[in-house]
Amino acid sequence: MAETVIEVENLSKLYRLGTVGTGSFRQDVQRWWTTAILRKEDPFFTLSGAEDASESKQFLWALQNISFEVKQGEALGIIGSNGSGKSTLLKIISRIVRPTSGHVRGNGKVSSLLEVGTGFHQELSGRENIYLSGYILGMRKDEVKTKFDEIVAFSGIERFIDTPVKRYSSGMYVRLAFAVAAHLEPDILIVDEVLAVGDADFQKKCLGKMRDVSQSEGRTILFVSHSMQAVNNLCDKALWLNKGKLKEYGEVTSIVGKYITGVQQYKLKQSWSKPEEAPGNEHVRIKSVELVPHLLDVNAPLDIRTPLTVKFELWNMTDDVLLSAGLHLFTYGGECIFDAPSPATQCDKGVVKGECTVPGNFLNDGSYYFSLIILKNTSVSLFYYEECLSFDLEDYRENIQWYGKWWGAVRPKLPFRLEQTELVLQ
Amino acid sequence: MSANNKKWDWEIQSRTSWMGSRLDELWEYRHLLVGLVRRDFLLNYQQTVLGPFWIFFQPIMTLVTYVLVFDKLVGIPTGTVPPVLFYLAGIVLWNLFSDGFNGTSATYRENAHIFSKVYFPRLIMPLSQLSTHFMRFLFQMILLLLVIAYYLVFEDVSISVGPWLLALPFVILLTSMLALSLGLLFSVITAKYRDLANLVGLSIRLLMFLTPVIYSIDYIPEKVRWIVLLNPLTPLFELFRLSLLGEGTVTIPQLIYSVLFTLFLFAGSMLIFNKQGDKLIDVV
């Protein structure tokens, strides 16, 4: 049986929020006095009163009582929504920040790759930066020297190796930076979501390199990603963090599956029974909004093939008004994908119902949300309900041997033909 | 094998250690230190007109100013030592202290982005800063020795250097240690309370007047001399001139005070730097 190389036990991390301004010096002194001199409990936070502390606005538990083990040669994917503590966990294992309580024990040399190009200096040439960045990541001089040509070849920027990196394009910069990192030879490699940058071709190369490292050379990898496809492909085990707590830990496919369905239940339907409680104003109030996926199996995840229907109902409070609605679809980053208008309809007091379908094979994988706007006379905004529905679309690929993040906000299935028109006979 | 009695290579826990990184770990990262010094030199002299000559240009220009102002205008006596030698010796040693202090005091502020992304012994950064300034100091020492040689050969100035010359490495070591200690201390303080960064520049400027850089301790009135003698740098500067130029006033108790002060400050700031370092990443 493989040896345990990392053991995490009851790991917690508390962050103090807000600015460190006036009073914090006094607080520091006070805290030091009570804990170090009087040997009393910390006046500002206690582990036993974790509930109290997490409710107070001053403090945030980034991680709470996390325990797990990683065996040698294992690739562990760490998944969770934004702010779930993934990065904090990696930072603690990388020895960048200290945990508030608990401990991590491990065997072997650890290298962490939390950012591409750490230690790069704009003014220096590519050559100098390879050395410097190698040293910062923990390589020795002879190590960098022997791998230098390999690194340059991997990055594919041989011609510019003596040019200051400030003149590089961002793509070249990332390629060079990752090339250095990819040639690290630690026993444990910690990778945060750094593959989101760089072009698709290079991403593929990096994922391939990482897979080689874990499978053939027996190295342990901790990998954080939002791309379930990448996690599924690269990792054996997965760890699901939710708001700083360990939600699930186990085989990658089952965890990823649970994660996808868990996230999906988020805001697919909202409804109100009384107009007074519903969001809106004196003109209109929202009765319900719902996202109905066209799926045969209700428990199947939403993926990019799934057609989605948005259904909504509103209470109209005014007689004889020309109403129309608009559905805005945004990516999680806040970029608007489309603004779909409804036809305008003459309405009286009562309930108005709307429905709009987004076809399958149209959106790319990712997280999205809908906002609903209600208009009068097709120009005056009556009510704008932001983020009324949110959902995730999973990736789906057939016969594609590539696992990097697919580009673009939309991935429409367009009529596309590719055929051989001539044959060269030899 | 149970997890409890298993041997682990490393352990991360909430308790921060006073000792910080072990020496062998620092040694592991020696290439990084050399690389950082190399980076600083490349950066300082790339795309400049005078290139490496800046190392000499800065003390020479300061020297010209000091000779004009303090010798010609104010007329501060420098004893039997020619003013040029007197001031240059002061400037060269003062540069080591002030640059070293200034450079290391910015450790956390300027490297926060690196510290928050990758681990290496934090001490490497201030050590590399100090090494950079130490190398510049060595170049400036060569300049000083050349000027001394010039005066000996062409100006017919007699300089009687005795066994005190042996104290030179000791002076340089203590001055560097003082610079590093103060730098480490202030790197922690200024990372936490940013506005105190202004204090570093100000205190360096004011401290210069409490240090025999432009004057000799002999010319300070007895009544206020104790203020200058409180400064642990004072005996070092006097000893520096004594060993190189053969003139300077220093007593053994003063030197002992200076050594003890430096050692205590060094130990204290090292502990604070190591202890606070991990916590600071949450703040900066």
Taking the Cβ of residue B17 and every Cβ of chain A, the question of whether any pair is shorter than 8 Å is answered with no
pLDDT of residue A242: 85
Residues B179 and B100 sit within 8 Å (Cβ to Cβ): yes
- Does any domain span residue B7? no
What is the distance between the alpha carbons of residues B19 and B182, in angstroms, rounded to a whole number?
18
Secondary structure (DSSP) of B40-70: HHHHHHTT-SSGGGHHHHHHHHHHHHHIIII
CATH match for A269-393 among 2.60.15.10, 3.40.50.300, 2.70.50.60, 3.40.50.170: 2.70.50.60
Instruction: List alpha helices for chain B, DSSP H.
Output: 23-28, 30-45, 54-66, 83-105, 107-115, 124-154, 168-192, 197-209, 222-230, 233-245, 252-280
**Which of A233, A111, A86 lies closest to A182 in space, CA to CA?**
A111
In this prediction, residues B141-163 reach a mean pLDDT of 84
- Does any domain span residue B2? no
> B152 vs A216, B56, B161, CA distance in Å?
70, 21, 12
With a pLDDT cut of 90, the percent of chain B lying above it is: 40
Cα angle: A393, vertex A398, A400; to 5 degrees: 105
Residues B37 and B135 sit within 8 Å (Cβ to Cβ): yes
Span B184-221, pLDDT tens digits: 999 988 887 777 888 888 989 999 989 998 888 888 88
pLDDT of residue A46: 47
CB-CB neighbors (< 8 A) of B193 in chain A: 20, 25
On the question of pLDDT at A402 being above 60, the answer is yes
- Choose the weakest-confidence range: A139-153, A168-182, B101-115, B237-251: A168-182
Strand partners, A345: A323
- Does any domain span residue B57? yes
In this prediction, residues A101-107 reach a mean pLDDT of 88
Closest partner residue to A98 among B10, B28, B278, by Cβ?
B278
pLDDT of residue B134: 95
| Chain A residue with minimum CA distance to B276 | A98
What is the distance between the alpha carbons of residues A125 and A147, in angstroms, rounded to a whole number?
17
CB-CB neighbors (< 8 A) of A124 in chain B: 39, 42-43
Secondary structure (DSSP) of A26-43: HHHHHHHIIIIIS----S
pLDDT of residue A244: 85
Most confident by average pLDDT, A253-257, A409-413, B214-218, B233-237: B233-237
pLDDT of residue A38: 67
- Does any domain span residue B268? yes
Q: What pairing do the DSSP bridges indicate for beta strands A308-316 and A269-271?
A: unpaired
Terminal-residue alpha carbon distance, chain A: 55
Q: A78: which residues sit within 8 A by CB, 6+ positions away?
A: A86, A89, A90, A222, A223, A224, A238, A239, A241
With a pLDDT cut of 70, the percent of chain A lying above it is: 84
In A72-211 the beta strands, taken as DSSP E runs, fall at 75-79, 101-106, 110-113, 188-191
Closest partner residue to A96 among B16, B46, B116, by Cβ?
B116
Span A270-305, pLDDT tens digits: 888 888 888 888 889 999 999 988 887 777 778 888
pLDDT of residue A39: 64
Q: Residues for chain A: how many in total?
A: 426
On the question of pLDDT at B100 being above 90, the answer is yes
- Does any domain span residue B276? yes
**Residue that wins the pLDDT comparison between A121 and A260:** A121
Secondary structure (DSSP) of B13-26: ESPPPSS-S-HHHH
Strand partners, A390: A369
Q: Which domain holds residue B33?
A: 23-41+48-280
CB-CB neighbors (< 8 A) of A7 in chain B: 3, 8
* Extents of the domains making up chain A: 67-260, 269-393
On the question of pLDDT at B3 being above 60, the answer is no
Closest partner residue to B14 among A93, A98, A128, by Cβ?
A98
- Choose the weakest-confidence range: A380-389, B15-24, B119-128, B247-256: B15-24
Q: What pairing do the DSSP bridges indicate for beta strands A308-316 and A284-293?
A: antiparallel
Number of structural domains, chain B? 1
Q: Do B11 and A105 touch (CB under 8 A)?
A: yes
Residue B283's pLDDT band (boundaries 50, 70, 90)? low
In this prediction, residues B117-134 reach a mean pLDDT of 91
pLDDT of residue B24: 78
**Residue that wins the pLDDT comparison between B239 and A116:** B239
Cα dihedral A6, A11, A13, A14, rounded to 10, equals -170
CATH match for A67-260 among 3.40.50.300, 3.40.50.1220, 3.60.21.10, 3.40.50.800: 3.40.50.300
How many CB atoms are located within 10 Å of the residue A394 CB?
Answer: 19
On the question of pLDDT at B143 being above 90, the answer is yes
Span B37-78, pLDDT tens digits: 999 888 887 777 777 788 888 899 999 999 999 888 888 888
Q: Do A137 and B119 touch (CB under 8 A)?
A: no
The mean pLDDT value of chain A amounts to 82
On the question of pLDDT at B176 being above 80, the answer is yes
